[in-house]
Structure 1
């Protein structure tokens, strides 16, 4: 039998609930502990997801000897602090995206993981889904020729009060960090490292970007055109175009269950590629595969790429004048 991997979840929001549900569909995964900052919240979340141990502090989860890997699902302003705490306590870590607030924080977390010889991965769950993997396989096989362009958009209407984390600069609010990371990460996944970026944004009354557009050039050729918005419900599609045709991930490209191949010469094909459970299962399965194999990182979401993408996000924010408290800490460091 394969080694059982014992999970802890740090944080109790929607994404934490999604991961708790996903772990039920992962063979060999056990959700054994959760943590919140209050006993009431920890008890409520633990009961909801049937976790036997319910810690009233994040540190208590980090120190729980019965936990192998911790999934960090707190607001991104806390990611670096929480990841450092869990790694220092000897736990493997899967950290929600965006990985940290800036590249300096990301570097510190990755350095500690390497020093401790622990597994660490950014939870960019879309990369691990079967449809996305199949699209990459098709591209590698030459099905659409040499890839030249990628277009992607993601948008929803954020009808929230200004103190909500999505609009609150103190909580890392804004479209770029929360949802812009999806098209950015997928563009780099399909076209390779980003060499240049140009960004425009519309800022809202709270001082965060409510929608942004950005263009990328990629190492080895190819360009991407991406948009993210908290003002409109956009098509949320991704199209990869090559010299011989295109591949589309239609409707919620971050969670595709099929893809469409449209060759210049030939018939349009729909390829079904269903995911297990709610889709978060696949990143958990990859993390467990790596932990069992003793790998420090996943080849699908390696540390170097997490750092590179955080660096691009830093550049994008500088271009639109979006500054967070964590950046002041960078300047003081």
Structure 2
């Protein structure tokens, strides 16, 4: 698969042309690597879903360049959305807004809302800026879920994408290189699509931008998801899972791990420092005790451990406070895949 240097203008424009032709392109963002398709091309969206093995009722997020007009994509852009865009775009925040009538329903899995995000990664921005002029109306948007098979650990390096799609040749998938993802987990998703129904902001997926930071801009704390909340990426109970079985344990349980009972060696991911001498057959993997640094490394560590031949991966359960909400959401869904 061809790769692009962040400064490779020719490859950026080639990738944009591929998107305009209805083909798929993997590219870096500050959160994770995305698998991109023209957000207004139903055939390209169908190819995207097929490549990932993604259920068609699981909507995708439209990525926009910094200067793009969100009003092309949304039937309404309320003042709350404008304030959040000014505060956090470009950055790891997705806003669910009422979908404009001319935007294909396929991008939202038939729902009335549409997810919009403006990534901060320079390669993503270069691609989006090169793609928009190739659209007749000049409003190019790229639908881009994470560049992995559905339900698996998201990629934070180009090499992870290559490993996810070995069946794709250079014609089927182009990968733009952009180094390691800085944030490391997927964007925060906030629903603003029901304000005209009297439903205030609803936090559908936590991420790097937490509820308190959103509240500072909105003047109100986002609510938890309700039964009528729209479906969004990463909202299934079991998601973000490695192939190796994964469990969560409190720190006190780490010293009681039994490799023999697990059927082979165990990788125990601990916070800050190891709790003592590891039991036989248990390998300590020390992770930062800071939630931002932990999130940045999480998926790469899970992928490395997945390839290392362990019978079990155990993660020390992080603190339950707000700063760890995004991390706890991801690892909780990963562990749920093995319940």
Global fold match (TM > 0.5) = no
More strand by share: 1
Q: Which has the higher helix share?
A: 1
TM-score by length of 2: 0.26
* TM-score, normalised with respect to structure 1: 0.26
